[in-house]
Amino acid sequence: MALYYWLALLLLGWSTVTAQKDWWESASFYQIYPRSFQDSNGDGIGDLNGIKSRLPYLKSLGMTAFWLSPIYPSPMADFGYDISNFMDIHPSFGTLADFKQLVEEAKKLQLRIILDFVPNHSSDEHEWFKKSVQRVSGYEDYYVWQDPKPGTERDPPNNWVAAWYGSAWEWNDERKQFYLHQFHKKQPDLNYRNPAVVQAMKDVLRFWLDQGVDGFRIDAVPWLFETVGFPDEPVSGHSTDPLSQNYLTHIYTLDQPETVDMVYQWRELMDQYKQEHNTTTKVLMTEAWSSLDVVKTYFNDSNNRQGSQMPFNFQLIMRLDQNSKASDFQTVINSWLDIIPPGHTPNWVLGNHDKRRVSSRMGGDHMVDIMAMIELTLPGITVTYQGEEIGMHDVDISWADTQDPAACQLTEETYQEGTRDPARTPFQWDSTANAGFTNASVKPWLPLATDYPLVNVKTQQESAQNSHIKVFKELMNLRGTNTLIWGSFKSLVLGENVYAILRSFPNDKRTYVVLANIGSKSEIIDATKLDNSLPNELVFRVRIGRNKQHSFTALRSRGFGQPCNSIGAAALCIDRCFLYVGGCAIV
């Protein structure tokens, strides 16, 4: 038979588990990009009331919490990551009162809220920056200011380049100095060597904790500090363009030791708030596209000082693509598990608002369910970007329709190299005009995918056939079992394109077996390579694939069902993916 994606489960009895995990340690988080989730007032832009109306959907998926990309006042030079007031709501999204209602409704559904915290920079329209430009007392050093290079009238102080493109320095004619901006020139970097800035940003965290949020995702962590003295960075040899980020090796502008300490300080604030208010744990997630050696320092230090509970794991995004083999999956997954300190929890991120969607990145629609089954049966925490559960794909956005500032600063010939718009298009709720995202007569802020009449929540939920959302929900239901919460983890490479996961938990007396063929054709494996301790009978729980010959319900040990073309009792031919339960299987 062909190798689909299987999860097998054999129900052999239940046991009571007395130990407890904190709420976040087995949580499933859902990332919402507010502009694109649900428009409630007919302006073509998603908002807080729209999100509130869709909270039952998140609950139906089995989510524990949702994370909101920035909702603060902003000139929108970077769609909310250029913040002009850290303690309010952008009018496009609603009001602070709307946010409080969102929190209340979420709590009723036992959903927790995580906010984006953008500490590296503000908008150049923030009052702090205006006062710093004017050298108002107390604000002179709120930002990173430098004189021109010695001996020049207006040359930047060094060769640093911004993450987007061009010099990281912008001249301010009023102050007669350059300010540092690691991103857009309208996003001046805050100066974390100034204690007043450190305290001001801690006050921001406390403000939102007082509004009822359950934690923060910290944006762009590696850029918080720069080396004192501002030396030139060495040339990397990876680019011939001196204005490209790849032109330099960023040893003075990224991953400085003080950055890790700052994260630890924020964690101390979270823990202190919990004690002061006798409330639940407040969670820190950190975004750092850094090496594993750097990322692991965010968990804790040698003195057991605690940092981020969730340094985001981007390995599935950074290191896997449509050309990856089963051995690559095993290497990437194990490399992350290997750095997790004792007492800490792994997390798995498949996509976000800055990267290509799973379907587009991994080679097509057939990989959506396979990647979901792998992610959702791995040990620890999962993070799902809106739309991945229905298999949304990148949308080709024309130059005329492009909104992403990172792309708009490029040219019509090169904008697709930097655009993030394709993964940010409006959510597809149903097959009506504008996919139920906004009114039929309204133009959404970004164009919709042309296939939304088929790829949407309502159509997939009502389909008589298997669908992405049905597979996703079945997997989410299984994530609540003791085996997937507490069980051991083992992975196997059973062929060039066949990756297997075994999860077992003695107290629960069940094992889950996932068999995933990530290739484009059927592949025969030797079933004897699977764990000899598996029971004689495995039962399909979730199957991905439409081949009728795989509709059997029982799998026997060694052969796991009928052999493919009589190749032998210990052989299994795999087409896509199955999940068994184990005793049980997911098919």
Size of the chain, expressed as the number of residues it contains? 587
Burial 445-455 (b: 16+ CB within 10 A, else e): bbebbeebeeb
Distance CA 115, CA 28 (A): 15
Name the pTM for this structure: 0.92
Per-residue model confidence (pLDDT) at position 441: 96
pLDDT of residue 118: 99
The domain ranges of the chain are 7-12+481-586, 28-118+205-224+255-461, 119-189+226-254
pLDDT, tens digit, for every residue of 514-567?
888 898 888 777 767 777 666 666 666 776 754 433 322 333 333 343 333 433
Task: Say if residue 416's pLDDT is above 50.
Answer: yes
Average pLDDT over residues 68-92: 98
Query: What is the secondary structure of 3-36 as a DSSP string?
Result: -BBBEEE-------------TTTT-EEEEE-GGG
Distance CA 377, CA 471 (A): 13
Helices (H) and strands (E) in the chain, counts: 15, 21
Residue 466 has pLDDT above 50, yes or no: yes
pLDDT at 536: 60
Lowest mean pLDDT among 156-165, 313-322, 342-351, 563-572: 563-572
Mean pLDDT of 74-80: 95
* The pLDDT of residue 533: 67
Q: Distance between CA atoms of 480 and 406, rounded to whole angstroms? A: 40
Residues 61, 56: Cα–Cα separation, whole Å: 9
**Greatest C-alpha distance within the chain:** 84
Percent of the chain having pLDDT more than 90? Answer: 80
- Residues carrying an active site annotation: 219, 287
> What pLDDT score was predicted for residue 520?
82
Q: What are phi and psi of 500, to 5 degrees?
A: -120, 145
Q: 553 or 310, which is more confident? A: 310
β-pairing verdict for 112-117 and 215-218 = parallel
If phi > 0 it is left, if psi is from -120 to 50 it is alpha, else beta; for residue 404 that is beta
Assigned token pair, 478? 């299984």
Task: Please give the pLDDT value at position 472.
Answer: 96
Q: Is the peptide bond before 568 cis (omega within 30 degrees of 0)?
A: no
Reading phi first (left if > 0) and then psi (alpha if -120 to 50, else beta), residue 389 is in alpha
Predicted pLDDT at 20: 85
pLDDT grade for 474, boundaries at 50, 70 and 90: very high
Return the closest-CA partner of residue 414 out of 165, 167, 184, 238: 165
Task: Please report, rounded to a whole number, the percentage of residues in the chain having pLDDT higher than 70.
Answer: 87
For residue 411, what are the CA distances in angstroms to 78, 79, 334, 401, 573? Answer: 17, 19, 40, 13, 49
pLDDT for position 523: 79
Tell me the C-alpha to C-alpha distance, in Å, between residue 100 and each of 270, 323, 338, 458, 478.
20, 46, 40, 29, 32
DSSP strands (E only) in 81-194:
112-117, 145-146, 169-172, 177-180
Distances, alpha carbon 92 to alpha carbons 46, 47, 246, 363, 406, in Å = 8, 7, 35, 36, 21
**Residue for token pair 């588990």:** 17
Residue 294's pLDDT is 97
* 59: three-class secondary structure by DSSP: helix
Q: What is the pLDDT of residue 541?
A: 73
CA angle (388 as vertex; 434, 20 as ends), nearest 5: 130
**CATH architecture of structural domain 28-118+205-224+255-461:** Alpha-Beta Barrel (3.20)
* 119-189+226-254: CATH, from 3.10.20.30, 3.90.400.10, 3.60.15.10, 1.10.10.10: 3.90.400.10
Lowest mean pLDDT among 215-219, 326-330, 528-532: 528-532
Is 505 within 8 Å of 379 (Cβ atoms)? Answer: no
Confidence label for 574 from pLDDT (cuts 50, 70 and 90): low
The CATH class given to the 7-12+481-586 domain equals: mainly beta
pLDDT at 8 over 90: no
pLDDT of residue 580: 52
Give the pairing type, strands 381-385 and 488-493: unpaired
Q: Is the pLDDT of residue 570 over 70?
A: no
Residue 9 has pLDDT above 60, yes or no: no
pLDDT in tens, 106-124: 999 999 999 999 999 999 9
